[in-house]
Amino acid sequence: MAVNEHSSETFVRDVEEEDDGNVSDDEDTVEVERKFLVPVDFHERLKQHGGRCLVEESFTDEYFDRDDYAFTMNDMWLRVRDGKWELRYGEPDNLDVPSKGTDQLRRTVYHEQHNPEEILKTLQSKGLLENSVESDDLAYVMNSEPFRSFATITAVHKTFGVPSVQDLLPAKISVEAAELGYRVGEIEVSVDNNESIPEALQTIRKLSELLGFEPLANMKEEHMQNGG
């Protein structure tokens, strides 16, 4: 189970389906996450605080949606990553989690599908296909529907491990750098139960300040103030 803090809200999500199609049901660990804009010198900053690169990989994603952006507007993402189809979509749920301040907690159960036939069934069940499905070839069906590719992104993804810093909890930091220089990072802290979520959130906030990571919400507010 993972808690994803975005802007002033905290999202709790379960990623139910693994890459091999099996359902993950690990209720013993809660993962608390928040996304940030990452500075250019993030390598040096992480190194100063004991960060160590654990994984590095590159990929190209091509995203698809309907002309009315029905997917994007409903928390659904259909993409081809290095030639393989992936569908990710969220459904709201409820969770009783202790919170501090003005943080609002809500739970979103996320489903991930990699089998083209299962993806087709999901799109059909949600009424996102205009024509009857006469083929299990997802690419063929896409060509016969009002779908289009709206973005192709090549990026490098790096995952770092950060030990306990200044009495904060250990953390995992993922940084995704796109070819146009856009860098988005995610700080993740794992705890044993829901009661420890506030401590995890505190670690994320303090660690982001130490590293100079800027919350995405701040950038959005600045863009709006500038009339963008």
Render pLDDT for 173-203 as a digit per residue (tens, 0 to 9). 999 998 767 789 999 998 888 788 889 889 9
Measured between alpha carbons, how far is 228 from 221 in angstroms, rounded to an integer?
Answer: 10
- Residue with the bigger pLDDT between 110 and 33: it is 33
What pLDDT, on a 0 to 100 scale, did the predictor assign at position 87?
94
- CA 53 remoteness from chain centre: 20
- Residue with the bigger pLDDT between 137 and 42: it is 42
> pLDDT digit string (tens) for 61-97?
999 998 888 888 888 999 999 889 999 988 776 555 5
Q: What is the mean pLDDT of the chain?
A: 78
Of 134, 171, 138, the C-alpha closest to 52 is: 171
Q: Which of 11-15, 59-63, 87-91, 207-211 has the lowest mean pLDDT?
A: 11-15
> At 19, is the pLDDT very low, low, confident or very high (cuts 50, 70, 90)?
very low
- The count of C-alpha atoms lying within 13 angstroms of the C-alpha of 172, restricted to the half-sphere facing its C-beta, is 13
CB 9 within 8 A of CB 103: yes
Fold of 2-225: Hypothetical Protein Pfu-838710-001 (2.40.320)
The SS3 call for residue 92 is strand
127: buried, middle or exposed (CB in 10 Å: 19+, 13-18, 0-12)? exposed
For strands 147-162 and 9-15, give the pairing: unpaired
What pLDDT, on a 0 to 100 scale, did the predictor assign at position 31?
80
Structure tokens at 86: 């992936």
Measured between alpha carbons, how far is 82 from 59 in angstroms, rounded to an integer?
Answer: 6
Measured between alpha carbons, how far is 65 from 142 in angstroms, rounded to an integer?
Answer: 10
137: region left, alpha or beta (phi > 0 left; psi from -120 to 50 alpha): beta
What pLDDT, on a 0 to 100 scale, did the predictor assign at position 136?
76
Structure tokens at 194: 């829901």
> pLDDT digit string (tens) for 115-158?
999 999 899 888 888 877 677 788 888 888 888 899 898 999 99
